[in-house]
Structure 1
Amino acid sequence: MLMTIGHLAELTGVPASAIRYWERHGLLPQPERHSGQRRYPTEAAERITLLRKCQQAGLTLAEISDFQQDKPLREAMIRAKIAEVEQRRIDLDHAHQFLTHALQCSKPDIIDCPTFRKEMEAW
């Protein structure tokens, strides 16, 4: 069963403009056309779910394109993205430590705090 872009947008919660944008950039296959209107197979909703998950994982459009390619290219991109995510986790952990300490620190100026200075050197 084929569906219109409006129905696909409603089904996935993704605006029709985003669906057209992804098509233009090759992230979604070009749909069939009936009387000039796009008609999508049900599998298009699954592809859109994948695209949304990729975006939520922090992938750029170029990375999403690589994600949909052959396995060696996909694996290389995923390895690079995992390294990036791991670095972001470290950075977020440092930010959490800093903010938690700053909230509890009794020093009027955080720069004067020896604990903060030690943490800064470690980072």
Structure 2
Amino acid sequence: MRIGELAARTGVSVRALRYYEEQDLLAAERSSSGQRRYPESAVERVVLIQQLYAAGLSSRTIAELLPCVVDGRATPALIERLAAEREQVDRRITDLLHARDRLDSVLTAATANLRTGAACRREAAPRAR
């Protein structure tokens, strides 16, 4: 498939797909006219790359981990690295859950204030002297 079709099927911009190629995250064959051609498996790979980016991994880390994640080929060092990345994702999830809980508390209080007619007031920050 051509780059535009891959972009449409994955919801990723053409520019991002070119960046993935530059970072050795994605490979394309070239037609005789120089157009990129991707195999069907590129759709799943792009989705995986997007998931890893969303988890906070860098391009370099994704490039190192893709062989383990995609093909199951791994060295002990790569498995250790993957486990460390997973721990970081777990920490971010925990932090996000705490932030969500805090927002829920604020929403509950704000909703109660609306019912009672009390307004939420923004407190001014103390001025520096």
Normalised by the shorter chain, which TM-score bucket? 0.5 to 0.7
The 5 A counterparts of 1:26-65 are 26-65=24-63
Following superposition, the deviation at residue 97 of structure 1 comes to 6.5
Tell me the residue number matched to 2:74.
Answer: 71
Give, in whole Å, the separation in 1 of the partners of 2:87 and 2:18: 31
Q: TM-score, with normalisation over the residues of structure 2?
A: 0.63
- Which structure 1 segments of 5+ residues have no match? 105-123
Give, in whole Å, the separation in 2 of the partners of 1:40 and 1:4: 6
Which of the residues 19, 27, 47 maps onto 1:21? Answer: 19
Give, in whole Å, the separation in 2 of the partners of 1:97 and 1:43: 39
- Which structure 2 segments of 5+ residues have no match? 68-72, 110-129
Tell me the residue number matched to 1:84.
Answer: 88
Give, in whole Å, the separation in 1 of the partners of 2:39 and 2:22: 18
Q: TM-score, with normalisation over the residues of structure 1?
A: 0.65
Q: Which deviates more, 19-28 or 48-57?
A: 48-57
Aligned CA distance change for structure 1 residues 97 and 36 (closer, same or farther; 3 Å): closer
For residue 36 of structure 2, give the secondary structure of its aligned residue in structure 1: strand
Please, what is the CA RMSD of the aligned residues? 2.4
Identity %: 37
Give, in whole Å, the separation in 2 of the partners of 1:96 and 1:50: 26
For residue 71 of structure 1, give the secondary structure of its aligned residue in structure 2: coil
The size of the alignment, in residue pairs, is 101
Give, in whole Å, the separation in 2 of the partners of 1:23 and 1:10: 17
Give, in whole Å, the separation in 2 of the partners of 1:51 and 1:87: 20
1:10-66 deviations in Å (ceiling 9; x for gaps) = 111111110001001100124233311111111111211111121222222122112
